[in-house]
Structure 1
Amino acid sequence: MADSLLHHKHLLWRAGFGLGINQISDLENKSIKVLVNDLLKEESFTEISYDTPDANVPDDMMDIRTPAEKRKEMQRIIREQNNDLNLNFLDKIVNSKDQMREKMAFFWHGHFATRINNSKFNKQLLNVIRKNALGNFKDLLFEVSQSPAMLNFLNNQQNKKGHPNENFAREVMELFTMGRGNYTEKDIREGARAFTGWGYDKEGQFKERKNLHDEGSKQFLGKTGNFTGADVLNIILEQKTTATFITTKIYKFFVNENTDRNIVEQLSTDFYNSGYDIKKLMSNIFSSSWFYDKKNIGNRIKSPIELMAGMMRMLPMNIRNPENLIVYQKLLGQMLLYPPNVAGWPSGRSWIDSSTLMLRLQIPQIWSGLRPLEYSPRQDDDIEMGMKSRETALNKSFKNPNITIDWSRLEKVFEHKKPEDYLILNPKNLDMDPVKNFSDKSIKMMMINLMSTPEYQLC
């Protein structure tokens, strides 16, 4: 297998969700440069939504004055809408030509992690992240910071003059922009004062509630002034440490958990000087020769969404009960729109324990109808915020996704090709005997067995 094919697969897994069945025929005829340009071309943006109309969900939905029946009905609608959003995002991840946009959105969705019940707010934040995924980090930061989902999740609705709530100011600096060690507790306190009054109205529109804003002088990151929330975000963006923190996180996600200090320094200087141009940063990474170094290839364990999406991109499927794909996300430990906490999902080896590894290796057989699913979701220790109902509903309603795979199409596509060259990053490292021994030599068994190997878990 030529190195170029290895590099193509590496790029498609990192800058997207793996090789799609329709990319196989002319993959080898394309240069990396053409592939990178294809990936960076953005189609016209379309929002993700759900089918039911927006339910006007008051913040105090759980108000004891709301009749129990009405509460129950509202919860049901919201649960349905959140599930729809999840599946519609997964569908974009799998089928969109805009693979780089959706991969970047997937990254930001873990970076700006929120977990709230309000489906309308979830939808709005998801689309802000997708719209700005390859745009400017300043725009992204401002729009996320002013989204009702984030303001609700980090309690800034309760942040008012005289009683500052520090939650939002702390996470903005610690997790979203600068990282620990680059600010003081005093900066958090003064930052929180600047964000007083930031909130949203009943329609979910951002509002600066002037009467709740602390107009006094504040000292923040070495500057003094009568700062507003916008001033604080701008001062944070002036710090070079912000560019370094974001670039390091992007490098760890897209290139290698072990960072190369010199490369990251160069990338973050360019990122800072470009005024935080995300597309330019990603183009720099994917066009650099070091990105294709041996040590950067196949060193990542696919996250559950990457694993599922990769299979769905390769196997032409008809899924009759797609809602049950959410159960697989839950079982594998990564449910879209439902991160474990404000720090997002952990990565790397934390994806795999004895129960998730077994399921990962069995999914190809389960989805092909060769074996039943014999798992029940792990009880999540960190289920709060009235979400218990969503979990139990998933467990109760579970049926198999009812998947039909068009194997004859795969036979045509792979007629003169070796499936392992396209499914496995580095087939040289794969012992093909077990794959072939168990198979009836059909493309179907070949694909299922290849996707059931430990090697397929890596990207």
Structure 2
Amino acid sequence: MKERIHTQHLFWRAGFGASPHQLREAEHQSVRKVVRALFKDSQSFIPLTVAGGDQPAKKELKSLFREGKLDRDSLKNRIRENREAIRDLNVAWVAQMASGRGALREKMALFWHSHFACRNQNNVRMVEQYTNILREHALGNFSDLLMAVSKSPAMLQFLNNQQNRKHAPNENFAREVMELFTLGRGQYTENDIREAARAFTGWGFNAQGEFVFRRNVHDDGDKTVLGQTGTFGGEDMIRLLLERRETALFVTTKLYRFLVSDELFGDAVEQQRIAQLADQFYRSGYDIAGLLETIFTSDWFYNPKYIGTHIKSPVELLAGMQHSLGIQFEQKQPVLYVQRTLGQVLLYPPNVAGWPGGRNWIDSSSLLFRMKLPELVLKAGEVTIKPKDDGDVNTELLSRKINRLFSATIDWPTFEKAFDKSKDERLPDDLALYFLQLPLNETQRKLLASQVKPASPRSEKIRTLATAILSFPEYQLC
């Protein structure tokens, strides 16, 4: 049982859970071998693309309208199509996470999406490019990822660097690169921000959504940043920030909170551990895969105090449930509805700092919906909770419509086959071992027993028990 719990812990923290087949195959292997298999499965990178990915941006469309090449109705339709394509990209990414293919790559891309928070609801070309940058570099080198994201038109637009010009510097981009992407708050001065902003002048993008360096608006004078002086440009600034050990510590601490513990316990051992990991990260030249392998193969990663303590984010919950049971939604709207109702819409972070995570995922209404979700999907229950009004993400959903749209196909035969050898009296415990991090207690066991009719077909028993276990508050944790 200990091996099963450890294996499940690894699959949830390094991905979106595991199928019964994956768990049974992995529990007879060493941790190192399972970790190597996770990396191997995520080795290849295939870009996500959606229909309409070559759609002109809103700004381009308005130019066409002013030139008389588009009428007003066509302009509105094209803008709507752009936003719908971004919605389709969201759904495609969730589907990739739920597929179980390249799970470690997708899990890390989800982390980097919050670290490098960015949103753009009008240019699918930029959003698609940004999303694939995160996915491509998710397990590579942090310096390459940082440079690629910093030069992405989506990020440059989101942080206003298109307006960052010589004699009129805009500090937004430079501030967030220092505070949120590298050093962390308190590791720089306001003068460092001002000087760094001068270094990033000229970084922008063209009408085709491509990075361009506009030399004519770049400030090529001397700048003094973090105690160093030179005629720094944007690439120089990225290099200077990566040379600081504070960057390695800041990023490692965020990774540790994401993969190990939302709430640092604060003891000296844990702080020393993070410092050692950060030192490895720095000395390796910011090798992400090497850092992850060290974490996943360390004995302390499987300490009981870390198991079953992470509150699943809405996307982790949704993708994990889909992966566990082979769920395929017949409509796209429910995938967006769940994200919006629970407060995590991919490609639409709440602000530049990303999602706070941890206990912030849970409030009275979201917990109620989380526990209702399995019944809603597996038994076509009725939605009575409205999505949170956190901005226009083009979901266009109403509670009265979602019930009939929430239908899904579920691969019950494959799931049930994994429990062929389980005796009826062992079914609740065997299913719980698969879905939950800890064994059932007596109260839970009695509750499950009360929901199963002894004369029911075995298939019905498995489905009833699975739905009930998924509805336990403990399923919200991993």
Q: Common fold, TM-score beyond 0.5? A: yes
- 1:331–1:378: 8 Å Cα contact kept in structure 2? yes
1:93 is aligned to 2:71: no
2:132 maps to 1:124? no
Contact 2:53–2:85 (CA under 8 A) maintained in structure 1: no
Of the three residues 394, 401, 406, the one matched with 1:401 is: 406
Letter in 2 for 1:447: A
Change (3 A) 1:440 1:78: farther
Instruction: Write the mapping of 1:421-436 to structure 2, written as runs, cut at 5 A.
Output: 421-429=433-441, 431-436=444-449
Per-residue deviation, 1:324? 2.3
**Letter of the structure 1 residue corresponding to residue 104 of structure 2:** M
Q: Which residue in the other structure is 1:33 paired with? A: 32
Letter matched to residue 364 of structure 1: P
- Give the corresponding residue for 1:361: 371
- Which is worse superposed, 12-21 or 142-151? 12-21
Match of 2:257 among 242, 252, 258: 252
Aligned residue for 1:321? 331
Distance of aligned partners of 1:211 and 1:72 in 2 relative to their CA distance in 1, 3 Å threshold: same
Q: 1:9-40 CA distances to partner (integer Å, 9 max, x unpaired)?
A: 10000011111244144232222111111111
Inter-partner Cα distance in structure 2 for 1:25 and 1:301? 25
In the aligned structure 2, how far is the partner of 1:132 from the partner of 1:456?
A: 31
1:52 aligns with 2:65: no
**CA separation of 1:257/1:369 partners in 2, compared to 1, >3 Å: closer, same or farther?**
closer
Asked whether the 8 Å contact 1:321–1:401 carries over to 2, the reply is yes
Q: 1:322·1:401 contact (CA, 8 Å) conserved in 2?
A: no
Paired amino acid for 2:468: N
Contact 1:101 1:130 in 2 (8 A): yes
* 2:289 counterpart of 1:289: no
Contact 1:113 1:342 (C-alpha < 8 Å) held by counterparts: yes
Amino acid at match of 2:326: P
CA distance in 1: counterparts of 2:183 and 2:435, whole angstroms: 38
1:16 and 1:100 in contact (8 A); partners too: yes
Q: Is the alpha carbon distance of 1:389 and 1:19 closer, same or farther for their aligned partners in structure 2, counting shifts above 3 Å?
A: closer
Q: Deviations over 1:232-263 (max 9, x none)?
A: 11000000000000000000010012332000
Moved more, 270-279 or 21-30: 21-30
For 1:445, which of 446, 459, 464 is the aligned residue?
A: 464
User: Partners in 2 of 1:389 and 1:264 — Cα distance?
Assistant: 37
Q: Report matched runs for 1:232-381 at 5 Å.
A: 232-259=237-264, 260-380=270-390
| Residues 410, 443 of structure 1: 8 Å contact kept | no
Would the aligned equivalents of 1:199 and 1:208 in 2 still touch at CA under 8 Å?
Answer: yes
The answer to whether the 8 A contact 2:113-2:134 is kept is yes
* Residue type at the aligned position of 2:95: D
**Whole-Å separation in 2 of the counterparts to 1:443 and 1:25:** 18
Q: Give runs of aligned pairs for residues 182-197 of structure 1, distance below 5 A.
A: 182-197=187-202
Matched letter for residue 168 of structure 1: F
Q: What's 1:176 paired with?
A: 181
Deviations along 1:70-117, whole A, 9 cap, x unmatched? Answer: 331122211221111111111111114211111100100111011111
Deviations 1:404-449 (A, max 9, x none): 2233332211122411111101115572211221233600000000
In structure 1, what is the Cα distance between the partners aligned to 2:393 and 2:410?
33
TM-score (norm 1): 0.94
Q: Does 1:81 align with 2:81?
A: no
Please name the residue that 1:72 is paired with. 76
Could you give the per-residue CA deviations for residues 200-246 of structure 1, whole angstroms, max 9, x where no partner exists?
11111111100000011100000001100110110000000000000
Do the aligned residues in 2 keep the contact of 1:10 with 1:297 (CA within 8 Å)?
yes
Deviation (angstroms), 1:188 = 0.4
Q: 1:322 Cα shift?
A: 2.7
Aligned-partner Cα distance in 1 for 2:235–2:200: 8
Separation in structure 1 between the aligned mates of residue 327 and residue 397 of structure 2, nearest angstrom = 25
Residue 149 of structure 1 is matched in structure 2 by 154
Does the CA contact (< 8 Å) of 1:93 and 1:99 recur in 2?
A: yes
SS in structure 1 of the partner of residue 59 of structure 2: coil
Task: Work out whether residues 87 and 326 of structure 1, in 8 Å CA contact, stay in contact via their aligned partners in 2.
Answer: yes
- Is the CA contact (8 Å cut-off) linking 2:342 and 2:388 kept in structure 1? no
Q: CA separation in 1, counterparts of 2:116 and 2:109?
A: 10
2:15 touches 2:104 (CA, 8 Å); kept in 1?
yes
Moved more, 65-74 or 418-427: 65-74
- CA distance in 2 between partners of 1:165 and 1:396 (Å): 45
| Greater Cα offset, 147-156 or 108-117 | 108-117
Instruction: Note if contact 2:7-2:26 (Cα within 8 Å) is conserved in structure 1.
Output: yes
Corresponding pairs, count:
452
CA pair 281-394 structure 1, distance change in 2 beyond 3 A: farther
What do residues 270-291 of structure 1 show as CA deviations (whole Å, max 9, x unaligned)? Answer: 0000000000000010011110
Give distance in 1, aligned partners of 2:260 and 2:411: 34
Q: Give, in whole Å, the separation in 2 of the partners of 1:223 and 1:82.
A: 42
**Structure 2 residue ranges without an equivalent (≥5):** 265-269, 423-429, 455-460
Which of 191, 203, 206 is the aligned partner of 1:201? Answer: 206
Q: Take 1:429 and 1:181, find their aligned partners in 2: how far apart are those partners?
A: 46
